[in-house]
Structure 1
Amino acid sequence: MDYSTLLDEDVLAFIKETLSFYPDDLAPDDWPTQRAVYDRMADQFRAARPKGLPVCDDTIAGVPVRCYGHPSEAIILYAHGGGFVLGGLESHDDICAEIAVASGVQVVSIDYRLAPEHPHPADFEDMQAVAKDLTQQHSIVLCGDSAGATLCASVAGVWNSPRLLGQVLIYPYLGYPMNGGSFDAHANAPLLSLNDLIGFADVRGVKQETARAIPCLGNLAQLPPTFLFPAECDPLHDDAFHYHREAKSAGADMQIKTHSGLVHGWLRARHRSGRAAAAFDDILKTLKSLVG
């Protein structure tokens, strides 16, 4: 796949700048260094928080969280990406702040435990605990990117609540076999390759494939209104379409839109790429429609 012609100059520049943070001799299993590099990279693209937005750190159900905006009846619970081993409250701070302002409701960003120190199901348990706690007093929308989207979909597939208004899944991993289609066509895509996916899955430490780890094994018929936003140049692209097809067949309310000319991790390019900015606007409008 010739990404130099498939992607525009802004996206190619974003990819080049992202990769510039990763030294050639970085060991794939040196997670402290991997996290430090990832955090420095995320900070490079970090935008200033909108002025006047109240932000505070807290704990919910014993899990660290960061809250953006004033308390509201409906809340967006956001789970960050990073392959279940990278990222945290800082790496997605600006994204959550912008979502809070655009949606007009509070955003709660969850700092779930990371592998390999805390193998699955620690990540799922944290996500579910916070979601259940919030729904004691609020309606919620689940939203996440990459691994965070996986956690959202896993929770929605095993837990049904009338206070779960919907889920918004940004370039998610949903658990279908990693072969054929985009898994082959985009196996060497920029910023996320098929080998990367396999590596992250190994480190996550799933000992038994259940719906708590693999969203496509969940009860798809019970899913709340779901919006899928895969990236075109991403091995995970077709994973979202398999989920969409099976969930619709089960009777779920599902919508999907491919963001063309974009790669996995494009959220950080939303202020540097017209394509990414338009895609982020799609997501913001969708979230606002769900929280009413």
Structure 2
Amino acid sequence: MDYEKLIDEETWAFIRETGSHYPDETATFSIEEQRKIYNAMAAAFRAPRPEVVDVTERTVGNVSVRIYEAGDPIRTVMYCHGGGFVVGGLNSHDDVCCEICEQTGYRVVAVDYRLAPEYPHPAQFEDAWTVLEWIAETYERGVVLAGDSAGATLCACVAQHARGRLDVVMGQVLIYPGLGGDLSLPSYREHAQAPMLTLEDVKFYRHVRADGGIAPSDDPTYDPLQASDFSGMPPTVMFSADCDPLRDDCGAYRDAIQAAGGQAHWINETGLVHGYLRARHRVGRAWDSFERITLAIEALGQELWTYDD
């Protein structure tokens, strides 16, 4: 794959800057050291909070959440951060949540779910579900689920589990999600050595949260594509990075939802790489995608479907 042609110079500059903070060999370090390096990298890219956004924190059950509000929000976004279920937290995606709040006007509740390997599956799912139940009890106007990478996985798992249990989920916006797709899909072969995320990374993250290292094969609270029934799913909008082994998970998930009669739309972002949310203030393509993401969140919260599939 000729990434020199596929990826523009702005994005390459972002890739190099990320590597200066989070080098390839970081994966060989201890979990504690990986988290320290990741947090420092996230801090280096972190944008200042918009002044119009008020931020509070509280504990829901045993789960810490951070709540972002601007004015009188009519909807709530539950946001789950990325990081392969191993790294990340409230601070790593603080600016993303702030800007989603600012641009949509919706309340954003960020979930500080427990991390693997100390807390194997289903700890992450349980924490996300706990927060969604609390949101449903606390705010009456509907919820849009949103997340990136591992966080998008959790959102899809929660959305499937909510069917017949909670009626507050208005839609989900999944940003370069890992959904448990078949590793024979083209993107896993074409982008096995992609910048920012490789196939070996995907395999590691798929198994790191599995108890005993053995991933379940029929558990949709672990991988959404392990579900046997996709009926009744909320309207779903997905954003993939074209230069990412996870790209084609979006197509498989879209097709499964549509085959069951649901609404699902997949936007593949040309020339972008996994983790591009962090590049939105440096890379024009990433900013354009972020605007599409926030518009999708806002539209789902207004029960609008603007896609032709």
Do these two structures clear the TM 0.5 threshold for a shared fold by scoring above it?
A: yes
Structure 2 counterpart of 1:239 = 249
Q: What is aligned with 1:250? A: 260
Q: Distance in 2 between matches of 1:156 and 1:52?
A: 30
Inter-partner Cα distance in structure 2 for 1:6 and 1:27: 26
Q: What pairs up with 1:258-273 in 2 under 5 angstroms?
A: 258-273=268-283
Q: Which amino acid aligns with 1:38?
A: Y
Task: Tell me the equivalent position of 2:169.
Answer: 164
Q: Does the 8 Å CA contact 1:103/1:287 hold for their aligned counterparts?
A: yes
- The residue identity in structure 2 corresponding to 1:242 is A
What is the percentage of aligned positions where both structures have the same residue?
45
Going from structure 1 to structure 2, the CA distance change for 1:272 and 1:119 (only over 3 Å counts) comes to same
Deviations 1:98-137 (A, max 9, x none): 0001110110000000001101100000001111121123
Moved over 6 A (4+): none
Matched, 1:155 2:165: no
Q: 2:183 aligns with which of 178, 181, 184?
A: 178
Q: Quick check: 2:52–2:102 contact (8 Å CA) kept in 1?
A: no
**C-alpha deviation, 1:25, in angstroms:** 4.9
Q: Which moved more, 1:174-183 or 1:64-73?
A: 64-73
Deviations 1:118-171 (A, max 9, x none): 011000000011111211233111000000000000111122232110000000
- For the 8 Å contact 2:171–2:236, the answer to whether it is kept is yes
Superposed CA deviations along residues 257-284 of structure 1, whole A, max 9, x for unmatched, are: 1111100000000000110010000001
Contact 1:259 / 1:279 at 8 angstroms: preserved in 2? Answer: yes
Q: Distance in 1 between matches of 2:210 and 2:43?
A: 28
Residues 205 and 29 (structure 1 numbering): CA distance in 2 closer, same or farther, change over 3 Å?
farther
In 2, Cα distance between the equivalents of 1:142 and 1:42? Answer: 22
Residues 212/117 of structure 1: CA separation in 2 closer, same or farther (3 Å cut): same
Q: 2:106: which partner in 1?
A: 105
Residue-by-residue CA offset, 1:190-212 (whole Å, 9 max, x unaligned) = 01000001111221125533011
Identify unmatched segments of 5+ residues in structure 2: 303-309
Deviation of 1:24 (Å) = 5.9
Partner AA of 2:5 in structure 1: T
Mean Cα deviation higher: 212-221 or 142-151: 212-221
Partner of 1:64 in structure 2? 64
CA distance in 2, matches of 1:62, 1:21: 32
1:23: how far off?
A: 4.4
Seen in structure 2, the aligned counterparts of structure 1 residues 26 and 265 have a Cα distance that, compared at 3 Å, is closer
Partner of 2:44 in structure 1?
44
Larger mean CA deviation between 41-50 and 155-164 belongs to 155-164
Decide whether the 8 Å contact of 1:228 with 1:256 is kept in 2.
Answer: yes
Name the CA distance, whole Å, in 2 between partners of 1:175 and 1:42: 26
Task: Give the counterpart of 1:188 among 188, 193, 197.
Answer: 193
Partners of 2:115 and 2:99 in 1: how far apart?
A: 25
User: Quick check: 16-25 or 145-154, which moved more?
Assistant: 16-25
The aligned residue for residue 307 of structure 2 is: none
1:129 maps to which residue? 130
Which of 144, 151, 176 is the matching residue for 1:141? 144
Q: Which residue of 2 aligns with 1:54?
A: 54
Q: Is the 8 A contact 1:229 1:259 kept in 2?
A: yes
Q: Deviations over 1:65-117 (max 9, x none)?
A: 00011563420000000000010000000000000011101100000000011
The range that moved more, 199-208 or 142-151, is 199-208
Moved more, 157-166 or 261-270: 157-166
> Deviation string for 1:210-252 (max 9, x for gaps)?
0110101233112100001111000000111011111100111
Helix, strand or coil for the counterpart of 1:135?
Answer: helix
1:91 maps to amino acid? S
Residue 6 of structure 1 and its aligned partner are, at CA, apart by: 1.0
Residue type of the partner of 1:246?
Answer: A
Aligned length: 292
Which moved further from structure 2: 203-212 or 221-230? Answer: 203-212
